[in-house]
Amino acid sequence: MSRSAARSQASADAPAEAPDAPALPAALAALPAPQRARLRPAPEGRSGPVDRPMLATLSSRRTFDDRWIFERKLDGVRALAVRDGAGARLLSRTGRVMDSTYPEVAEALAAQECGDFVVDGEIVALREGRTDFSLLQQRMGLTDPRAVRASPVVVHYYVFDLLSLGGWATTGLPQRTRKTLLRDALSFHGPLRYTPHRNHTDEPLLSQACAKGWEGLIAKRADAPYQERRSTDWLKLKCEAGQEFVIGGFTDPAGSRVGFGALLIGYYDTGGRLRYAGKVGTGYDRRTLLALRERMDALSRPTSPFADPVRERNAHWCAPELVAQVGFSEWTRDGMLRHPRFLGLRDDKPPTEVIRERPT
């Protein structure tokens, strides 16, 4: 190779540095040259190199080759964590700051010794080794320091991706490389947990996950970059059907029931219309029934928000601003849910982003 060709190759393999780019951390400098060429100075901003997290696509696929890795699917609240000179911040999918709700997580991130970073993960509450979204609900709405300290709910932040390190965006690196860097960069103790993965799977692995009471698995392409969108490079392999739905109304309670009888729920189609998906009458305790009724009364409206006719007696309508997590057995042929049950409210997803999830 000529000297000029060698210089050209060296330039191509070097990260794209701005005049004021930070020094490359040792862990990144040790990467192979083709991977270093994918590095970029991380833009300044509340969430560093990304504004929105990467999302997985629901899939019925069950056979994979060795180009995929597999993580446990967690049932919690998605959180981007930014650690810089100003401290540590926890951001929801919608950009809401969650530091006051999970101060122990923010403090553990701020105490890390690896310099500035941005990571992606899930905040969960565990019950008997299983992630429990209904238990996490008891922490999700708390912001008062005294109430947070008094809460018996212990949370953990399971971190599964590294988006920047030392001022350099790592989103262009392969998935497997990002996980290796993550494991070596942070110290995982207290509320911080590293999300382990398997390098291969088959049907028994998913069956084993389901037998343990897990939500399922997340399959990730080992060579894929991090993308600010829903992608088929990440696939949700679920043990049981379930997704978010928008609350558009409710029915009256009957007998000794308080609050309401059932939620009337739906999802948005590609035309922006709220489509009716059925009613959810199970999964509530007394406190949830009363609290939800109060919130829906505050959003009361005289007409149905659904594009489809809803033939329920004693129905009351509310503005479609609340999002519920609902488990169910399957969709019926006419587009209704079979055996739905309420799992909790979600405040980390805009209602307009709630669509019907269809397996790829």
Q: What is the DSSP string of 180-232?
A: HHHHHHS---TTEEE--EES---HHHHHHHHHTT--EEEEEETTPPP-SSEEE
At residue 14, φ and ψ (nearest 5 deg) are: -90, 150
* pLDDT range class, residue 45, cuts 50, 70, 90: low
Residue 50 lies in a domain: no
Identify which has the larger pLDDT, 202 or 324: 324
Domain end among 238, 263, 291? 238
Per residue in 171-205, pLDDT (tens digit) is: 999 999 999 999 999 999 999 999 999 987 556 78
pLDDT digits (tens, 9 = 90+) for 116-132: 999 999 999 999 888 99
Tokens of 304: 């149905």
The answer to whether position 18 is within a domain reads no
- Judge if 233 and 251 occupy the same domain: no
CATH of the domain at 70: 3.30.470.30
Residue 17: pLDDT over 60: no
- Do 234 and 246 fall within a single domain? no
- Point out the catalytic residue in the list 73, 179, 220, 238: 73
Nearest CA to 169 out of 225, 95, 92 is that of: 225
| Number of domains within the chain | 2
- Same-domain pairing of 216 and 250: no
The answer to whether position 44 is within a domain reads: no
Dump the DSSP string for 291-318: HHHHHHHHTEESS---SS----TTEEEE
**Which DSSP symbol is given to 351?**
G
The reply to whether 15 falls in a domain is: no
Query: Is 73 labeled as catalytic in the residue annotation?
Result: yes
> Which pair of tokens denotes residue 252?
């009256």
Do both 229 and 251 map to the same domain? no
Same domain (yes/no): 104, 230 = yes
Query: Residue 144's domain spans which residues?
Result: 55-238
46 part of a folded domain: no
| Residue scoring higher pLDDT (16 or 194) | 194
Instruction: Please give the DSSP secondary-structure letter assigned to residue 129.
Output: T
Identify the band that residue 157 occupies on the pLDDT scale cut at 50, 70 and 90: very high
Q: Which tens digit of pLDDT belongs to each residue from 203-232?
A: 678 888 888 888 899 999 999 999 999 999
State whether 216 and 110 are in the same domain: yes
Q: Is 330 exposed, middle or buried (0-12, 13-18, 19+ CB in 10 A)?
A: exposed
Does residue 276 share a domain with residue 146? no
